Amino acid sequence: MPQQFRLQPPKPPKMIENDVEAQCLQVLRLRQYQPERLHSGTFKSLDGRRFIKGHEKGTPDYVVTHALYPAFYMETKRPGEGCSSDQERRHIELAIDGLAVVTVAGYEQLLAWVAQHEQHARARWRILLEGH
C-alpha cells in the first residue's frame, strides 16, 4: 500500500555564520558602534610575489569601538558552533590583558551582552565621578 501524502511546510533555512555576522553588524551600527574587521592568517599578494601577515591566528573577527563605551572584540559563530582551540587561547590572552571579548551566535545574544557592557561602563563612570 502506498504511503499517504502529507503536505508539510518548508523547513526554515539554517543560519550560517555570515547571517549572524550581518545581523550583529547591523545592530551594532544602529547603536552607533563602529565594527572593524580583523583578518587573521597569512595571505598571498595578487601578484603572487609576497606574503602578507594578518592578525595572529585565533584573533576575533572584529574590534568594535564606540565614542562613549570601551572597545571590545567580537567573534561571530553560527548557532551551535564553538570556538577553535586557537580562538579560545587568543580570547583568554586578550581577557588577561583586560580587554573584553564576546562570542555570539545571534543578535539577541549580542544585544544582551552590549547592554551589560554599557551598564558596567556607566557604573565605572559613577565611581570615578564620585571619587573626585
- CA-to-CA distance for 115 and 53, rounded, in angstroms? 35
- CA-to-CA distance for 76 and 55, rounded, in angstroms? 17
pTM over 0.85: no
Domain range list for the chain: 17-127
Given a cut of 70, whether residue 1 has pLDDT beyond it is no
3-state secondary structure of 69: coil
What pairs with residue 35 in β-bridges? 64
For the record, the C-alpha cell of 16 comes out as: 550560517
- CA-to-CA distance for 62 and 73, rounded, in angstroms? 6
Among the CATH numbers 3.30.70.270, 3.40.190.10, 3.30.70.100, 3.40.1350.10, which is that of 17-127? 3.40.1350.10
Given a cut of 90, whether residue 132 has pLDDT beyond it is no
Per-residue pLDDT tens for 96-129?
Answer: 999 999 999 999 999 999 999 999 999 999 988 8
Given a cut of 90, whether residue 15 has pLDDT beyond it is no
